[in-house]
Structure 1
Amino acid sequence: MAGDATGQPAAGQTRRRGAVLEEAILRAAVAELTESGYAALTMDKVAARAGTNKNAIYRRWPNRLALGIAAYRQLAKTIQPPDTGSLRGDVLELLRRANRNWSSPFGAILRELISAAGGTSELLAQLQDQSGDAAAAPWLTVLGRAVARGEASPEALHPRVATVAMVLLRNEFVVRGVPTAPDDVLVEITDEVYLPLVRQRGPATPN
């Protein structure tokens, strides 16, 4: 049961603070975002679901866009990278996963948030999961495996190199506005841009 309008807990309810309350709010925001999308996200709904009051939310996130972005980042946790046995196979699988993701209702949430953020650079930076540390991790993992197999040189292990393919795919959605990218575009990004770039980073010749 939620607390009263002043934020005091109901009888028998332990008042949550700090990280515990923040986690509860984010869980509630994630649930609202997943069920209804960003357009229907409100502080009132999140507060009711989290069993808290709007003031507790506003102390942590100044507006619903900031809360929506924080919730999206929770949704976008890094998953286990593929291990197909070849760099080309891993790259294509990562791109295909991202393509399915961005073509889904989850991807629609991301596009809504980008549109809502407009030119607000600070908020847009928070949405750049494709080039952040968390998004670079699976790409650095598959590149590291490629180095171990002799398909790439250690010089390829750079976050900007690692995420080039993902950034190009993101542009198909954000800049060109496509609902989904054809598979031949993913193959073109892999074979015409990504693998040649990796090859140029050192003396090793990918298979």
Structure 2
Amino acid sequence: MRRRGEELERAILDAAAQELRESGYAGMTMDRVAARAGTNKNAIYRRWPHRAALGVAAYRQLSDDVMPQPDTGTLRGDALELLRRANETWSSPHGVILRALLAAAADEPELLTLMRAPSGADTMDRAWLSVLERAAGRGEAPAAAVHQRVASTPIMLLRAEYATRGVPSVPDGILAEIVDEVFLPLVRGRA
């Protein structure tokens, strides 16, 4: 019996995610995904117009695990915990896939556009906004600090550490600097 609709889409995404895990973005081909999913390339191209779109969709599927919210009772503690979790993830095989997608964006600029597009799986953004909302509720941060740009700053700085230093993991001292020297002053200055 031939699969259709959501069942086929799930099989394709599962196959693409497996290819990303095993071969990375550079080794993921539409032919290999089609063979693994038991379908043809036309079925893939009807849903994802190019390899970059499928790669990002597969990466997002890998990222769909819900991140438990830290609640240390302080903005600093929550922010540091979120950065540590992100650092741990990016140092894992999952992070290798993300870094490969970002590196491939030099040759495939549509990757960055696709990765920046909003999705239902923006777990990290929601986590940071939630941390800021709780801090504002405790009176630890001004309400104006609950803003997407403020929330994305620590993660952007962590990404910059990976991109500019080429390290497999960012030392905890640098994570503390991001929180103490940039994030907390930014939050407090949003009055």
Distance 1:201 1:173 in 2: 28
After TM superposition, list the pairs within 5 Å mapping 1:28-47 onto structure 2: 28-47=15-34
Q: For residues 145-198 of structure 1, give each alpha carbon's deviation from its aligned partner in whole angstroms, at most 9, with x where no partner exists.
A: 111111111111101111101100011112332221111100000000000110
Instruction: Assess if the C-alpha contact under 8 Å between 1:96 and 1:186 holds in 2.
Output: yes
Q: For residues 14-46 of structure 1, give each alpha carbon's deviation from its aligned partner in whole angstroms, at most 9, with x where no partner exists.
A: x33333322221121112212332232222222
**Normalising to structure 2: TM-score of the pair?**
0.89
Per the alignment, do residues 47 and 119 of structure 1 end up closer, same or farther by CA in structure 2, a change over 3 Å counting? closer
Instruction: Assess if the C-alpha contact under 8 Å between 1:69 and 1:126 holds in 2.
Output: yes
Q: CA deviation at 1:58?
A: 1.8
Secondary structure of 1:163 counterpart: helix
Distance 1:125 1:194 in 2: 26
Distance 2:100 2:166 in 1: 12
Instruction: Assess if the C-alpha contact under 8 Å between 1:30 and 1:72 holds in 2.
Output: yes
Instruction: Assess if the C-alpha contact under 8 Å between 1:24 and 1:50 holds in 2.
Output: yes
Matched residue pairs, number? 188
**Normalising to structure 1: TM-score of the pair?**
0.82
Counterpart residue number, 1:181: 170
Secondary structure of 2:57 counterpart: helix
Uncovered stretches (5+) of structure 2, i.e. residues with no partner: none
Counterpart residue number, 2:128: 139
Secondary structure of 1:175 counterpart: helix
State the identity %: 62
One-letter amino acid of the counterpart of residue 113, structure 2: A
Q: CA deviation at 1:91?
A: 0.4
Counterpart residue number, 2:60: 73
Distance 1:47 1:54 in 2: 6
Instruction: Assess if the C-alpha contact under 8 Å between 1:117 and 1:124 holds in 2.
Output: yes
One-letter amino acid of the counterpart of residue 155, structure 2: M
After TM superposition, list the pairs within 5 Å mapping 1:93-108 onto structure 2: 93-108=81-96
Secondary structure of 1:48 counterpart: helix
2:97 counterpart of 1:109: yes
Uncovered stretches (5+) of structure 1, i.e. residues with no partner: 1-12, 203-207
Instruction: Assess if the C-alpha contact under 8 Å between 2:101 and 2:111 holds in 1.
Output: no
Q: State the superposition RMSD in angstroms.
A: 2.1
Distance 1:29 1:54 in 2: 12
After TM superposition, list the pairs within 5 Å mapping 1:147-162 onto structure 2: 147-162=136-151
Per the alignment, do residues 160 and 119 of structure 1 end up closer, same or farther by CA in structure 2, a change over 3 Å counting? farther
Counterpart residue number, 2:114: 126
More helix by share: 2
